[in-house]
Structure 1
């Protein structure tokens, strides 16, 4: 379902905005996340086990991920509506890969601190299985 143009955006280390169903009485509130897209076309990210988003996903296992090209570039975005599965396995390895993807080699101290934190945190890997993909700009 992902096009080459989608992958050109999603394969970059851009932040995604993840939205899950809100708690009763709340509005949806997108949160910035690190992510990667797999060869199979799923998107994955990680979360700490006790996070609110995981509790919301237990009740409604759907989410959206929106990724936008930065200002100064030709406009472009990809929105993924997805069913989400949550996994224990692979979460720490994903967190390590994403730390390397989003923090460059000049950020040695930050990378080391994050990787040390991933060793002790109870992490989960969230896999977004796309059900619909939209993209823009719509012209």
Structure 2
């Protein structure tokens, strides 16, 4: 479902904005997350077990993800909508891999977070694309 220019954007350490179904009378509120595209073309990210978004994803296992080029570059974004699966396995490994992608992991503060994630239950969130939209200037 992704084009070559989509993969070029998605391979960069940019934030994705994850939107899940809201609770009660609230409006959807996207959250910035780290992500990677799997070999199967899914988009995966991680969360700690007690995050409210996981409860909402269990109730409504669908989400959207948007990734955009930063200001100063030609406008380019990719939007993905699809079903979500949650996985207890692979979350800590994904968190460590993404920390290496997004951070200078030699920083003691960053290493502290990695250690906390390794000692916690980290859930892997996988969005299976059903619809992909894009714009490239």
TM superposition score normalised by structure 1:
0.94
Q: How far off is 1:104 after superposition? A: 2.6
Structure 2 counterparts to residues 98-113 of structure 1, below 5 A:
98-104=98-104, 107-113=106-112
Structure 1 residues 11-41: Cα deviation after superposition (integer angstroms, max 9, x where no partner)? 1000000000000100000000000011110
Structure 2 counterparts to residues 1-139 of structure 1, below 5 A:
1-104=1-104, 107-137=106-136
C-alpha separation in 2, matches of 1:31 and 1:21: 12
Aligned residues: 137
Q: What root-mean-square deviation, in Å, do the aligned CA atoms of Structure 1 and Structure 2 show?
A: 1.2
Structure 1 residues 83-112: Cα deviation after superposition (integer angstroms, max 9, x where no partner)? 10000100000000010000035x521331
C-alpha separation in 2, matches of 1:36 and 1:120: 22
Q: How far off is 1:50 after superposition? A: 1.4
Q: Would you say the 8 A contact 1:100–1:111 is kept in 2? A: no
Give 5+ residue unaligned stretches, structure 1.
none
Q: Would you say the 8 A contact 1:99–1:114 is kept in 2? A: no
TM superposition score normalised by structure 2:
0.96
Runs of 4+ displaced beyond 3 Å: none
